[in-house]
Amino acid sequence: MRDLSADHALLSLNTATVRKQGDLLAIVEACSRHGIRAISPWRDQVAAVGLDRAVRAVKDAGLRLSGYCRGGMFPADGAHREAARDDNRRAVDEAAALGSPCLVLVVGGLPQFSRPGSAPSKDLPAAHAAVEDGIAELLEYGRAANMPLAIEPLHPMYAADRACVNTLKHALDLCDRLDPARQGGLGVALDVYHVWWDPELSAQILRCGRERMLAYHVCDWLVPTRDLLLDRGMMGDGVIDLRRIRGEVEALGFAGFVEVEIFSNDWWSRSMDEVIETCIARHRTVV
Amino acid sequence: MRDLSADHALLSLNTATVRKQGDLLAIVEACSRHGIRAISPWRDQVAAVGLDRAVRAVKDAGLRLSGYCRGGMFPADGAHREAARDDNRRAVDEAAALGSPCLVLVVGGLPQFSRPGSAPSKDLPAAHAAVEDGIAELLEYGRAANMPLAIEPLHPMYAADRACVNTLKHALDLCDRLDPARQGGLGVALDVYHVWWDPELSAQILRCGRERMLAYHVCDWLVPTRDLLLDRGMMGDGVIDLRRIRGEVEALGFAGFVEVEIFSNDWWSRSMDEVIETCIARHRTVV
């Protein structure tokens, strides 16, 4: 297990963590100032400043990426499917332009939430199938662009509206079915917030192996959690046994960044410097 | 699959659904008035009117029980373990006095939330072990009292504070380990709210079989869900494919009541009659 206590060379900042405090250029500047070496930006934040400027800012700052958020949202009715496909291909292209090691996939839930305007459905098995078909199709495009796809299992409380892949096991089942020969280009992004509760987590991390562990995200689970989406905790403020999970991930040989991703009305109300300084301190002491 | 459209003979009302509108005696009276044949009361509601009065009211109204809520909350530190054990034994005794077919177990999460005052811990595997030990011990007492224990897997968003058994698979693994010879006295209470998202649900319902399916609960999952605990939906108002899940449960031969259990600030703000009438209407049309 790597020792994070000496510095924050392995910390990556998911830019959603400070999305309310400034645009992507301001975030890049702040990361430089605080000696942060990697970020994981969101598409809307890139779009807001323009892809070219984002690429230049990241390069000029000498930043690396630990991921790019996000492709996915596959379930859609017939009228929305082509737009979804094109949208996901653009996400792959943007990730490549930014030099990301992977495109994170939030796979989508029921079609009316995944691609608004789609006909409503309660058919979860159909959504599962649409996700599998969508990843299968995007995988070809991603491989041609040398852009690995990282399926992110989301907490089951997001099954309807954000992602109907809710366990590491389900994500790895998809990897096995879509890449049975392990050619690569497909893996997972593991965020402790979504999977910490799972009694099968340790076994599935072992099953995952190093090649398919494309990204590792941290934050914390607060008790009580006051909002399903916007009340994630800073590492150390909640109940997740962060050391244990990171130990299991690193036992695979995982050598990537440890990415902090916190959606929180609380942390969004503080200054960017305070949030970043806290992330760094917690990275060194509790992650 | 049973036809519920003609009447509501198979509807049971979990009394938490109208807990803000009146005490247990008022709820029993309203159920009688609306032709409801079964209820599933909570311990605090029984305690508020006294066990003897509760037993008499249920008997006088000719009501049956579909369950009794709840035992469990097993993880505790050493200083709180004996009190937890005694508390659970009293729950068994009360369930027997009321003529319940089972005692529903909400197994508890980390000890500081399960039994407040216990030393804080982030050790989820230890909580799993404490749950298993606790059920094993209570099972002997339950068998002596002829009171089956129904493990209720709760949604993973309650893993820290309410129950660290969050899938039907985990609940059935416990049943297999604690009752390998299938002597009985141990099974599950299946609430669609907690398990609808699980891609393994159908397979695990099949695995469960009729003997271990001790209770079946319905409500609905709203999008958006505005509160982790108190925003359950009325059947039909959310995204759960209720008919499909009930069909799978009844294909086992399940012949029990369909219990409505809704914790909702919204429904608690309406009159008891309106809530009960809506439950009956939805029972006949969408459950």
Residue that the structure tokens 């004996």 belong to: B82
Residue A167 DSSP SS3: coil
Q: Phi first, then psi: what are they for B60, rounded to 5°? A: -60, -35
CA nearest A223: which of A235, A232, A213? A232
- DSSP codes joined into one string, B87-118: HHHHHHHHHHHTT-S-EEEE-BSSHHHHSTTS
CATH topology of domain A11-285: TIM Barrel (3.20.20)
Burial (CB < 10 A; 0-12, 13-18, 19+), residue B239, is: buried
Which ipTM score applies to this complex?
0.97
Reported as a single tens digit per residue, the pLDDT across A54-88 is 999 999 999 999 999 999 999 999 999 999 999 99
Give the span between the Cα atoms of B93 and B107, in whole angstroms. 18
Give the span between the Cα atoms of B21 and B229, in whole angstroms. 18
Listed in sequence order, the residues at least 6 apart from A207 whose beta carbon sits closer than 8 Å to its beta carbon are A169, A172
For residue A156, which residues of chain B lie inside 8 Å, CB to CB?
Answer: 155-157, 166, 197-198
Q: Please state the domain extents for chain B.
A: 11-285
Q: What is the percentage of chain A residues whose pLDDT exceeds 90?
A: 100
How much is the average pLDDT of A35-42?
98
How much is the average pLDDT of A225-238?
98
CB distance B197–A122 less than 8 Å? no
CA distance A245 to chain B (A): 11
* pTM, to two decimals: 0.98
Cα–Cα distances (Å) from A287 to B78, B190, B275, in that order, read 29, 36, 47
How much is the average pLDDT of A142-161?
98
From B111, which residue of chain A is nearest by alpha-carbon distance? A239
Give the span between the Cα atoms of A110 and A163, in whole angstroms. 8
Residue A58 DSSP SS3: helix
CA distance B63 to chain A (A): 34
H helices of A18-167, where?
24-33, 43-49, 51-60, 78-97, 111-114, 124-144
Contact yes or no for B60/B35 (Cβ under 8 A): no
How much is the average pLDDT of A238-264?
98
What pLDDT is recorded for position B47?
Answer: 98
CA nearest B236: which of B223, B216, B221, B246? B221
CB distance B166–A123 less than 8 Å? no
Contact yes or no for A236/A285 (Cβ under 8 A): yes
User: Could you say which residues of chain B have pLDDT below 70?
Assistant: none
Reported as a single tens digit per residue, the pLDDT across A155-204 is 999 999 999 999 999 999 999 999 999 999 999 999 999 999 999 999 99
Substitution target from A112, A197, A235 for chain B, most B beta carbons within 10 A: A197
H helices of chain B, where?
24-33, 43-49, 51-60, 78-97, 111-114, 124-144, 168-178, 192-195, 201-212, 242-251, 265-268, 272-285
CA quadruple B268, B269, B271, B276: dihedral, nearest 10: -30
Give the span between the Cα atoms of B10 and A283, in whole angstroms. 54
For residue B170, which residues of chain A lie inside 8 Å, CB to CB?
Answer: 199
What pLDDT is recorded for position B40?
Answer: 98
Give the span between the Cα atoms of A205 and A186, in whole angstroms. 15
What pLDDT is recorded for position A74?
Answer: 98
What pLDDT is recorded for position B281?
Answer: 98
What pLDDT is recorded for position B160?
Answer: 98
Q: Sign of the C-alpha dihedral, residues A34, A38, A41, A45? A: positive
CA distance A122 to chain B (A): 5
Give the span between the Cα atoms of A198 and A244, in whole angstroms. 13
Give the span between the Cα atoms of B245 and A150, in whole angstroms. 31
